[in-house]
Amino acid sequence: MNKTIAGFSKLSKSQKIDWIVKTYFSNAEGTKSILKQYWNTNEKLQQLHDEFIENTITNYYLPFGVAPNFLINGKHYTVPMAIEESSVVAAASKAAKFWLDRGGFKTEVISTNKIGQVHFMFSGDYKTLNTFFERVKPKLITDCNGITKNMERRGGGILNVELVNKTEAIPNYYQLHATFETLDAMGANFINSCLEQFAKTLKEQAALYDGFSETEKNIDIVMSILSNYVPDCLVRVSVSCPVNELSETEAISGRDFAEKFVQAVNIAEVEPYRAVTHNKGIMNGVDAVVLATGNDFRAIEAGVHAFAARDGQYRSLSHAKVEGDTFTFWMDIPLALGTVGGLTGLHPLVKLALELLGHPSAKELMQITAAAGLAQNFAALKSLTTTGIQQGHMKMHLLNILNQFEATAEEKSKLIKNFKDNTVTHSAVVEALNKLRSKA
C-alpha 146/C-alpha 201 separation (Å) is: 14
393 is catalytic: yes
DSSP letter string, 137-152 = HHHHHHTTHHHHHHHH
Helix, strand, coil abundance in the chain, percent, nearest 5: 50, 20, 30
C-alpha 210/C-alpha 212 separation (Å) is: 5
* Contacts by 206-209, CB closer than 8 A, 24 or more apart: 206/132, 209/132, 209/135, 209/136
296 is catalytic: yes
214 is catalytic: no
Count of H-run helices and E-run strands, the chain: 15, 10
> Under the phi-then-psi rule, with left for phi > 0, alpha for psi from -120 to 50, and beta for the rest, what region is 106?
beta
Residue of 177, 200, 280, 414 with catalytic role: 280
326-334/318-323 β-pairing = antiparallel
DSSP letter string, 69-94 = EEEETTEEEEEEEE--STTHHHHHHH
Cβ distance 112 to 334 under 8 Å?
A: no
Ordered alpha helix ranges (H), 326-388: 348-356, 362-384
Residue of 18, 85, 204, 332 with catalytic role: 85
Residue of 106, 114, 278, 393 with catalytic role: 393
64-72/157-165 β-pairing = unpaired
Residue of 296, 363, 364, 397 with catalytic role: 296
CA distances to 123, 165, 166, 312 from 171, rounded to whole Å, are: 8, 10, 8, 23
Count of beta carbons in the 10 Å neighbourhood of residue 98: 19
Give the catalytic positions in this structure.
Answer: 85, 280, 296, 393
